[in-house]
Structure 1
Amino acid sequence: MIDALNDFLAVAVCGSFSQVAKKQGVAVSSVTRKIDWLEAEVGSRLFHRSSRRVVLTDAGEQFIPRARNILTELAEAKEAISSANADPRGLLSVTAPAVFGRRHIMPVIANFLRRYPDVEVELHLSDQVIDLVEQRIDVAVRIGLLPDSDLHAVTLAPLNLITCASPSYLERAGKPEAPGDLLHHDCITTMATPAAWVGTWSYEGLNRGHPFPARGCLRTDDKEGMLQGALAGLGIVQLPSWLVFEDIQAGRLISLFGDVPQSPQRVRPAIHAVRLPGRSHEVKAKLFIAQLQQAVGAPAYWDPLPVAGSSSI
């Protein structure tokens, strides 16, 4: 089967049985027999043959991508079987949100490559949700609510959001004592509210639990930009703990509303590592996710202790 598929694709490319036979160092009849067998198996002629040329039939054109997929799946299956009893090797593709990936995934990848020197990692940093099947991604880190799917998901950490501001802003504008006071403060907000941020700027007992209408002089679609704006004293911001924990620990930001919980939700957004079950790179994917879990810890290293002004949502 494998030889017949390879010969079929080779003949489809060069349009000649004799050229394929010459490259393989075999008789033309050997190649012809394999194509005859393949045509009998699929129940259709794959080539129009004449003394001058060999041309794909409509069925042959349609069969080309299927033949390539079959050979790819077989090769990946062989890799999966061999890698189960050996050190992982080959390509591992990973995707993660841009800022989170730079800050928290790159160090894990560096350690993973040192531990498994025969592995190559392809990292896609994007805030867009990438289709794992279409882009052939092995592991995706996703933040927020996970829709129902066939993906195998591992929770790495809850998504904790912290309302905070710089000491310079609080000295200039005063410290809000309760979430309702935010109406009289500059708040750094997003230009749009992606799915991962549903429920932000919502507080129990305020606005009936609906999203708080925060306003201010700066709106941006970049989380890093929001952080830099807060550090520059432009206003109050609400960002995930994984992004602001170092600045809070260093005193560059001060968390607010430690005793005021955010509005509860039935399903709590979190940070997940997801993979497609049954992929040939499953062994590498599982090892990488396990290393991610170990690196993040429980609780996550960015949430070592309950932080004032934070809430798991």
Structure 2
Amino acid sequence: MRWEGIDEFIAVGEEGSFTQAAQTLGLSVAHISRHVTKLEQRLNTQLFTRTTRKVVLTKEGEQFLHQVKHLQHAMDEATQGLASVQTSPKGKIKLTAPVMYGESFIMPIVHSFMHDHPEVEVIATLSNEQENLLEGGFDLAIRLGHLKDSSLKARRLSSRRFIMCASPAYLARFGEPHTLGELNNHQCLIGNSSYWRVNENNRDKHIKVAGRLHCNSGWALVDGAKKGLGIVQLPDYYIENEIKSGQLVPVLTAYQPQQEGVWGLYPSRQFVATNVRVLLDYLITGLKV
């Protein structure tokens, strides 16, 4: 009874909203409100000032929030300590990942993980739509690139680089660009966006490019580049082998954007189960940060 309502109170205090706290904890607004009210009654203290537009901590609420957050962290550490002694991951993991990256990199590691831990069940959804973890009941999501502000926890698994390149035949025919402005005189093979990421004067930015091939498949763009149709920009994992073999040549390397992260995301207030934690370790090892 002494702990009842504490997690809900902390979530509302940190989010400043019953609705956002409910989304963070994966609970209903009614549940959050009911437990916070019971906590206030038990303490005989008003913790929030409520209006139709916002929720604000009272002075007593601010003091109480500061103190109980330490208790919450101690409880989390104690719980994780218990989990660490579980040496055999088991149970269900529901995960989501982008289609191509999931097929090529994530699922082979997941399969090895399942082979080593036969009591684990995996439900994987490969989709280029960013699934909502709480609404979809996902334990883990793989995200590529820069993360938006989120209530989710994130663990960096690896990284990726965007590289501009073209075939030797294309460069021999049309010349190699040495400045970003020269891209206006070249055919650019365009994916989901007609804006490419570049770094100029130590600042990442986007520039607009044009060309006569637009396609939402990275592999199709690789094939078009190999056949001399133009310059392409893709993540390194699409074109590593072609660059090593000389079929494609990097261009404008001085303007290559900074590396981006490959992330494992999971709900922030949800205890990280042993099977998910061990899978994350497998992914970090397999993807070679």
TMscore range, shorter length: 0.5 to 0.7
- Mapped pair 1:286 → 2:277: yes
Describe the superposition over 1:19-69 as per-residue Cα deviations: whole angstroms up to 9, x where unpaired: xxxxxxxxxxxxxxxxxxxxxxxxxxxxxxxxxxxxxxxxxxxxxxxxxxx
Q: Which amino acid aligns with 1:220?
A: C
Partner amino acid, structure 2, of 1:157: S
Among 289, 295, 299, the residue aligned to 2:286: 295
**2:255 aligns to what?**
260
Over alpha carbons, which structure has the higher Rg? Answer: 1
Q: How many Å separate the matches in 2 of 1:280 and 1:210?
A: 37
Report the Cα distance in structure 1 between the residues aligned to 2:192 and 2:109, rounded to whole angstroms: 31
1:275 aligns with one of 266, 278, 286: 266
Q: Which residue of structure 2 aligns with residue 161 of structure 1?
A: 162
Aligned residue in 2 for 1:135: 136
Residue 234 (structure 1) shift:
1.5
Pairwise CA RMSD: 2.7
Q: Give the superposition deviation at 1:261.
A: 4.6
Pick aligned residue for 1:247 from 216, 230, 242: 242
Runs of 4+ in 1 over 6 A off after TM superposition: none
8 Å contact kept, 2:86–2:274: no
Percent of aligned pairs with the same amino acid:
29
What letter is aligned with 2:169?
S
Q: What is residue 118 of structure 1 aligned with on the other side?
A: 119
Which residue is 1:152 aligned to? 153
CA distance in 2, matches of 1:123, 1:232: 35
Structure 1 distance, partners of 2:148, 2:252, is 31
For structure 2, the 5+ residue unaligned runs are: 1-81
Shift of 1:231: 2.3
Partner residue of 2:224 out of 201, 226, 229: 229
Deviation at 1:129, TM superposition (A): 0.4
Distance 2:177 2:130 in 1: 36
Q: Which has the higher strand share?
A: 2
SS in 1 for 2:225: helix
Amino acid at match of 1:286: R
Q: What does 1:39-78 align with in structure 2 at a 5 Å threshold?
A: none
State the shift of 1:191 in Å: 4.0
In the alignment, the residues of structure 2 paired with residue 280 and residue 122 of structure 1 have an alpha-carbon distance, to the nearest angstrom, of: 19
Partner Cα separation in structure 1 for residue 206 and residue 164 of structure 2: 14
Contact 1:83 1:89 in 2 (8 A): no
CA distance in 1, matches of 2:107, 2:285: 14
Q: Is the 8 A contact 2:164 2:253 kept in 1?
A: no
Secondary structure class of the residue paired with 2:94: strand
Give 1:235's aligned amino acid.
Answer: G
Partner residue of 2:196? 200
- Report if aligned partners of 1:84, 1:283 keep a CA contact under 8 Å in 2: no
Counterpart-to-counterpart distance in 1, 2:115 and 2:270: 24
